[in-house]
Amino acid sequence: MFQDQRREKILQLLQENGSCRVQELKELFQVSEPTIRGDLESLEKSGLITRQHGGAFINNLRSVSIPLSLPNRGQEEAKYRIGLKASEYVGNGDNIILDSGTTVTEMVKHLGNRTNLNIVTNALNIALHLGMEPTNHVLVVGGEFKPPTLSLTGEKGLQLFENLYVEKLFLATGGFSLETGLTYPSFSDIALKRAMIASAKTVYLLADSSKLEKVQFASLGCADKIKYLLTDDGIDPEYAKKLKASGITVIIC
């Protein structure tokens, strides 16, 4: 991997996880500690991150507003439309899993009038928002806190999904392609996302068109598990046909 590519991946990891340790990055990219420190120094000079003893953290963490807002990452109008449409697939009394991220957060903004929901989520902002409705029952996944997405991740949260079954999962992704399936900037989410998918009867993937045919660092696969893709009108019509041929129902929002 070239230097610029590695630094871009490091930045993606920091944007996803909030912070990273030098030792973790060294093992992940199979390079020396001085090389990683040089990468972090370069990213710090760009104003994107701040180095600290043994690692670094992303600079926009303090801009997050609780309980619901997340930092903008582009495609806001598309995410709004996707979130609005996705909310139509949730009825009173549904059993659902809600993933973390900006697009699912947009969806949650339109669920204020739903009641008696049984909700499993790894997103603290979503839990706080929907938990304010007294008839909702909210289960929160345990694990390591990721400030940029106000979410919890890691294998410690997997126990919650043992013997769990829900009707619908509303899933986020870093990238999606027919060849590699679901991909993410970090390996930390892979086990949790897989457990979510295994626990749901129907998987709704919420992904704006900029994420389609985009491959991120860590691959989950599971393209065959996606029943519905909710995306925007930027999707290539020919690619939409390929998705439909593979068994995925494409919903353009």
Give residue-wise pLDDT tens across range 189-204. 899 999 999 999 999 9
Contact of 223 with 250, CB cutoff 8 Å: no
Q: What pLDDT score was predicted for residue 187? A: 86
Provide the residue type at 160 as one letter. Answer: L
Looking only at the bridges linking them, the beta strands covering 200-206 and 118-121 are unpaired
Residue 231 pLDDT:
97
* Number of domains forming the structure of the chain: 2
Strand partners, 96: 119, 168
- The per-residue pLDDT for 62 is 52
Per-10-residue mean pLDDT for the chain, 253 residues long?
Answer: 87 82 90 93 90 84 58 83 98 97 94 94 94 90 86 87 94 94 89 95 97 90 96 96 96 96
Buried b / exposed e along 48-80 (16+ C-beta atoms within 10 A): bbeeeeebbbbebeeeeeeebebeeeebeebbb
pTM of the model: 0.78
Same domain, 99 and 176: yes
Task: State which amino acid sits at residue 187.
Answer: F
| 134 and 37 belong to one structural domain | no
Q: Which residues contact 8 (CB under 8 A, 6 or more apart)?
A: none
Bridge-partner residues for 133, per DSSP? none
The answer to whether 95 touches 76, Cβ cutoff 8 Å, is no
Indicate if 123 and 48 belong to the same structural domain: no
- Domain hosting 22: range is 3-59
Rg of the chain over Cα atoms, rounded to whole angstroms, equals: 18
Question: What CATH code is carried by the domain that includes residue 46?
Answer: 1.10.10.10
The CATH number covering residue 242 comes to 3.40.50.1360
pLDDT at 137: 93
Report the pLDDT value the prediction gives residue 61, as an integer from 0 to 100. Answer: 56
Q: Which of 235, 141, 140 is nearest to 189 (CA)?
A: 141
Give residue 62's identity as a one-letter amino acid code: R
pLDDT at 52: 84
pLDDT value for 217: 84
218 close to 153: Cβ distance less than 8 angstroms: no
Statement to judge: residues 93 and 34 lie in one domain: no
Whether residue 227 sits in one domain with residue 122:
yes
Give the C-alpha separation, 223 to 176, whole Å: 8
Judgement on whether residues 12 and 125 belong to the same structural domain of the protein? no
Whether 64 is in a domain gets the answer no
14, 114: one domain: no
